[in-house]
Homo-oligomer: A and B are copies of this chain.
Amino acid sequence: MSANRFGHLFQITSFGESHGQALGAVIEGCPSGVTFDPAILKSALKRRRPGQHLVTSSRNESDDFEILSGVFNDKTLGTPIAVIVRNHDAKSSDYEKIKAEPRRGHADDVWKMKFDHVDHRGGGRSSGRETLARVIGGAFAQMFLSDVAPELIVHALPRQIGEIAIVDSDLCLSDSARFYINEGRWNDVATMMTKLREEGDSVGGIAELQIENAPGGLGQPVFHKLKSDLAGAMMSIGAVTGVELGGGFSLASKHGKEVHVTSDESVYGGIRGGISTGELISLKVAFKPTSSILDIAKRGRHDPCILFRALPVIEAMAHLVLADHILWRRLDRN
């Protein structure tokens, strides 16, 4: 057990403070012989960067990673894979102000209560920068999945940005097989974002995790149902305040005859008895509006809606859960 480890068999250990020397991850349990594909890692890191909006050009290069171990001649060795990203542009002067005044909506005070100190340099491990480690780990999980379940596709889609709902017809599939908000709808979003930025305000949002072509049989019957591990994974992301599978909260007021007889299988969200059925897995993830925007010190460097940056983090956590349960599946039968 560790506060900083995720996974049963395919595991990542996340380390690094947001304004320390470096952040990184150690990936354990990745079998030997997995094809290392740097493009997967670069792409995920780039999408996680601040200031990235969908269908807009990127302001920044991706974070530079260094692989310290576990990969040789473009194959995984079966040994721990250690990857780090150095912290460069930490403006610690900005954070000196925070030292004096704890930030509304942040974890500085609870952190102090817990560990008897605050790393005032930027939230330490509570910072969104920690998600770098998740994205790194998720990229290796994705490489493993590409080898053993090549049909499997994981998408995190925007479904709501503040008051703006995003329906299927608002989305288009890019060349890189990613869903984006199409131009017409994006104008609405961009207008709202600009206004929020000017006002120093933010909004929450809802993402939908879709897993296509997941093999059946993933998940364990009791405490590690696939829905349980996915929900725990999503709720471990900082700003997430809710998770629902398939019909979710709407099922509360439904009748059994309607759900189990009339409805199609999609009400189950692709998971029954805690185990994947082979159908589309669908999970909704709610985000609260970020509080960082409220800090004068940080305004301009933070996005008014973190949903876009969170999409690759959702995908990374899903890849990790799937890699874990696909490995676990090897132990099911004699």
Contact = CB atoms under 8 A, between A and B. Distances in A.
Nearest to A117: B32
A253 B162 CA distance: 4
B260 A241 contact: no
Contacts of A334: 31-34, 76, 144, 147-148
Contacts of A291: 256, 259-260
A151 B82 CA distance: 36
A181 interface: no
A98 interface: no
Contacts of A24: 68-69, 82
Nearest to A287: B252
Given A11-B2, A272-B107, A332 B78 contact: yes
A110 B70 contact: no
Contact of A255 (B22, B31, B69, B162): B162
B21 A294 contact: no
Interface in A221-266: 221-225, 227-236, 238, 240-249, 251-261
Nearest to A291: B260
A196 B252 CA distance: 15
Main secondary structure of the interface of A (DSSP, over half): mixed
Nearest to A205: B252
A289 B275 contact: no
Given A113-B217, A242-B244, A260-B291, A31 B107 contact: no
Contacts of A79: 4, 15, 17, 124-125, 221
Contact of A249 (B5, B148, B241, B246): B241
B276 A203 contact: no
Given A4-B223, A78-B115, A238-B274, A202 B286 contact: no
Given A126-B273, A244-B286, A247-B288, 8 more contacts: A2-B80, A4-B79, A15-B68, A15-B70, A75-B117, A110-B216, A196-B255, A256-B291
Contacts of A203: 253-256
B32 A115 contact: yes
Contacts of A76: 334
A131 to B, nearest CB: 10
A8 interface: yes
Query: 8 nearest interchain CB pairs?
Result: A107-B273, A232-B232, A3-B220, A242-B244, A202-B256, A256-B289, A15-B80, A1-B8
B256 A249 contact: no
A130 to B, nearest CB: 6
Interface in A103-132: 104-107, 109-111, 113-117, 119, 121, 124-126, 130
B221 A228 contact: no
B242 A235 contact: no
Given A32-B333, A68-B22, A106 B272 contact: yes
B251 A288 contact: yes
Nearest to A329: B114
Given A2-B29, A275-B114, A236 B224 contact: yes
